[in-house]
Amino acid sequence: MRRLAFFLVSILILANGCVISPRRTVGSTTGTGGGNSEFSLTVNPTSQSITAGASGTYSISVTSTNGFTGTVNLSASSSISGIVASFDTTSITGGSGSATLTVQTTSTSTGTATITVFASDPSNNVSQSISVTASVTAAASTAGGIVSALSATVPAGCINSPAGTNAQRVSFPATPATGGFTATFAATPSSPAMDASLGFFAPASSGQQPALSSLINFSPAGIIQARDGDSFAPSAVPYAAGETYQFRLVENLPAATYSVFVTPPGATEIPLGTNLQVPTDQRGATTLTGWGMVVSAPDNATLSICNFNLQ
């Protein structure tokens, strides 16, 4: 009986005391989000044409994924020597934000440059890269240092500006004549209730960034308005999402006035406003440095400007 009892005890020890269940210890995670937290990197536009000696801008957006709240550092390199890429800010904090990439060319720049944008957060070992292209075309011909004929499309194709990004800026191929100029372009809103404006950049005071002097507005009320001085003039011209509107804008720089006309789809040209006063921030300007646009709302809305032509 004792032998039997001893045998049974031995079996119990082997069955229970020597079978160890494995256990995994998971340490606490520190940093700026979960184990899969990271960011995505997007750019708009992905390509554009830039006249030699001028500059072009691209909007770089950083979006948080899985709770990422780190600091993203930005840098860029160009495939063509002499074409310089720079940012208005090289650091985006809090996991999300945007920056403006400016690609500056020289008067002798030629060809299509690939600009590679690098974004990284070394503290979390996360990085992304994305590329844009800049097709550099020859500048307008001059005679005696004065532009003899100003008729160029800048850029070829379309520029798209999404909501929530900085003002999109596109440099002119040459300085507009001091007496004024005529600009024609096509605009396509993606939403029937946008808050989007487009206009021109006047030279900035020393040490300051040039501000966008908005002249045309696609309003949340679903109408297209023209600015008269520092407010928008009444308008009864509606717009619809996905429809393309042709614009003709005639500006008189010495008089600080302008007129703008719009051709809705399938209709004839109608005046949006004539002999309007330019905004305060453009008065006194004897030249302009570029055109641009900005979209404030709604989210995911985009304003597309195509075939911008300056004469």
Please give the chain's pLDDT, 311 residues, in tens. 555 555 544 544 444 443 333 333 222 233 334 445 688 898 888 877 777 777 777 889 899 988 899 999 999 988 888 888 888 888 999 989 988 888 888 777 778 889 999 999 988 888 889 988 887 776 543 333 333 233 333 334 678 888 877 777 887 766 676 778 888 999 999 899 999 999 988 776 655 666 788 999 999 999 999 999 989 988 999 999 989 999 999 998 888 899 999 999 888 899 999 999 988 888 887 778 888 888 888 888 888 888 888 88
Looking at residue 15, what is its pLDDT?
45
Could you tell me where in the chain the CATH 2.60.40.10 domains are found?
36-139
**Rounded CA separation 162/172 (Å):** 21
Q: Tokens 């780190």 sit at which residue?
A: 70
Backbone Cα Rg of the chain? 29
Q: For domain 36-139, give the CATH number.
A: 2.60.40.10
* Alpha carbon separation from 254 to 138, 150, 230, 309 (Å, rounded): 29, 18, 18, 21
Residues in the chain: 311
**Rounded CA separation 165/46 (Å):** 15
The structure's pTM equals: 0.53
**Rounded CA separation 74/249 (Å):** 37
Find out whether 129 and 114 touch, Cβ atoms under 8 Å.
no
Instruction: Say which DSSP state 15 is in.
Output: I
Class in CATH terms, 141-311 = mainly beta
Say which residues have a Cβ less than 8 Å from residue 242's Cβ, sequence separation at least 6. 188, 189, 190
Looking at residue 277, what is its pLDDT?
93
Looking at residue 1, what is its pLDDT?
52
Could you tell me where in the chain the CATH 2.60.120.560 domains are found?
141-311
Find out whether 173 and 155 touch, Cβ atoms under 8 Å.
no
Say which residues have a Cβ less than 8 Å from residue 8's Cβ, sequence separation at least 6. none
* Alpha carbon separation from 24 to 16, 21, 36, 219, 236 (Å, rounded): 21, 10, 20, 59, 69
**Rounded CA separation 306/192 (Å):** 19
